[in-house]
Amino acid sequence: MTAPDPALPSDRAFAIDVPTLADVPTLARVHVRGWEIAYSHLLQGEQWFGQEAIDRRIAHWTSWLTPGTREADEGVFRVGRDGDGTVIGLAASWPPHEAQPARSRELSLLYLDENWLGTGLARELTEAILEGGPASVWVTEDNPRARRFYEKAGFAPDGAGRVEEHLGSLRDIRMVR
């Protein structure tokens, strides 16, 4: 028998909520740590996972949540909060940017605090953003955990792909439902 990990939340209850500008610093940290969990085997360096990345995400989240900006006006944002109200996961959706989108809505971001993986939070955030409707999501081809998650959520590859040159040449595939 193993001892409980004190870093893990003892109460796995969470609530889905709309983020505010007061959440920006925590959103940035969860976002960058989520990137590290998902992509550290593909990307290395402070620019992706260090303070530079957190500062960049603070600027992004501030813009995304500031009323009157295009990102805020077109976006849908949800967070998961633990029993203390701390942000433990995030999701965002915007209309797709490609010339011929497969769906009218895209699940653009979905990241969790690693202690909340496997709790149902990601599924709840996905459905809170998409409301059970059709959508697309771009997922890194070399991210089998994410691909399995999206398949369980009803997404399937549609054959479209792209290379993210600005992200270290990561190859993404599009999944739709």
Compute the distance between CA of residue 34 and CA of residue 27 in angstroms, rounded to an integer.
10
15-131, CATH topology level: Aminopeptidase (3.40.630)
- Residue 171: closest CA among 141, 136, 137: 141
Tell me, what's the pLDDT at 41? 64
Tell me, what's the pLDDT at 36? 82
- pLDDT per 10-residue tile (average), the chain, 177 residues: 48 92 98 83 66 94 96 96 97 91 94 95 97 95 93 97 75 95
Sequence ranges of the domains in the chain: 15-131
Tell me, what's the pLDDT at 38? 76
- Residue 89: closest CA among 61, 60, 122: 122
Q: Strand pairing of 156-164 and 106-112?
A: unpaired
- Residue 65: closest CA among 82, 86, 90: 90
Compute the distance between CA of residue 32 and CA of residue 78 in angstroms, rounded to an integer.
17
| 135 CB-contact burial (10 Å; exposed 0-12 / middle 13-18 / buried 19+) | buried
